[in-house]
Amino acid sequence: MLTADQLSTIKATVPVLEEGGEALTRHFYQRMFRENPEVLAFFNPAHQHTGGQQRALAAAICAYAKHIENPSVLAGAVELIAQKHASLGIQAHHYPIVGSNLLASIKEVLGGSATPAVIDAWAAAYNQLADLFIAREQKIYTEQKAEHGWNGFKRFIVKQREQASDNIVSLYLAAEDGQALQPHLPGQYITLRITPKDGTPMMRNYSLSNPAGSEYYRISVKHEVATTPATPDGVCSSFVHHQLQVGDVVELAPPCGEFTLQAPLHAEGPLVFIAGGVGITPILSMLHSALAQHPDREIIFIQCAINGNVRAFSDELATLQNKYTNLKTHLRLSEPNATDREQQVHNSEGFIDQELFDKLIGERQSEFYLCGPTPMLSHVWHLLKARHVADCDIHYEFFGPAAELAA
């Protein structure tokens, strides 16, 4: 427990963190990677390059400081981070590494403002938070062992490759030891660990796009292509697209994630799934389960893509549309090409707007599941809030470090 003086000191640092939090977290990551390079494998360099990781950590530190007297307010954020940590195999002995570098960065960045009282208070606050994460992550590891039969990383064989779109390839993965897979929760992700010939392992989270209970895991990976000359193509996605072949062995950690299909909160009104780009991967797994579990409930699936070439899973969605009479699908393309218009593959053009919601949903109370690029999520979230949709009826997931939709 923090003392009254420590609590007061932490709260007094909130304005400083709000003004200089990103500078602090940039310094922290640079320092930790320099002093403890063994932790580099846990981080995606792209998130460091864009600054997303630093902004997310700065926001998390500020939120923790603001709610230091009642950290239970942050239960949702803690669960999200704990699931991410467990997916990567973070253990209790990693926390002192983070803590020592964070405190050192506070001293070096804040200078004279980092008095002994400030360092003492933040050391106590960090240890409190670390204990919370360690306890939750150990529970996740125990649950994984009981539900899926393993912890850490296990060898899987690539059984099949197929193109889901021009820029997304699906891999079908089966356990090398032949062990049957237990159903994942629709929406969860696994961690893929691969070691190229240079010997440097890479770990990335990929959503499971297959129906829960399949005999395989299916991940569907978008090739992340550089958008500027100063940034490289995605290292892991390039390896998956250009080098990983049927018969190759990879390593997987058990399913993780808190963005999962929930029991409906309302007896009536449709379930609405909205997917943008590769964000369709967890949504598709949810869609399969929702159709099987709720055959009498209207289910609306809105898919957003730039054009038909990068629209994923068109055949699979067509099969579901033909099989389930309660499913209504709508494809909105933001930049349809000539072939799209000639073949009329899409239902509408542009970005999602209130007119589309009026047409498909009207005034009915609905529950929404969203996944896609952050700008799309923010845009749709604001549209839904303008329709007075309750927060409990909006479920969403970010790919990469969590951000703030309400900004």
Is position 137 annotated as part of the catalytic site? yes
Distance CA 342, CA 344 (A): 6
Please name the residue ranges forming H helices in 67-187. 75-88, 95-110, 116-148
Strand 154-165 to 249-256 pairing = antiparallel
Q: Which residue is listed with tokens 């427990």?
A: 1
Active-site choice (29, 64, 95, 369): 95
Listed residue (328, 333, 308) closest to 317, CA to CA: 328
Q: Cα dist. 14→11, 56, 114, 139, 226 in Å?
A: 5, 16, 13, 31, 36
Intra-chain end-to-end CA distance of the chain, in Å: 33
Phi first, then psi: give them for residue 19, nearest 5 degrees. -80, -40
Contact 330, 348 (CB under 8 A): yes
Buried b (16+ CB within 10 A) or exposed e, 58-83: bbbbbbbbbebeebeebeebbebbbb
Distance CA 134, CA 162 (A): 39
Cβ atoms < 10 Å from Cβ of 221: 26
Contact 367, 269 (CB under 8 A): yes
Q: Cα dist. 257→98, 184, 250 in Å?
A: 23, 10, 21
Q: How many helices and strands, by DSSP H and E, does the chain display?
A: 13, 12
Which residues lie closer than 8 Å to 44 by C-beta, 6 or more apart?
53, 204, 400
Distance CA 223, CA 138 (A): 33
Q: Which residue is listed with tokens 């990976």?
A: 221
Which residues lie closer than 8 Å to 344 by C-beta, 6 or more apart?
none
Is position 64 annotated as part of the catalytic site? no
Q: Which residue is listed with tokens 């996944």?
A: 371
Active-site choice (137, 224, 298, 397): 137
Cβ atoms < 10 Å from Cβ of 138: 14
Catalytic residues: 95, 137
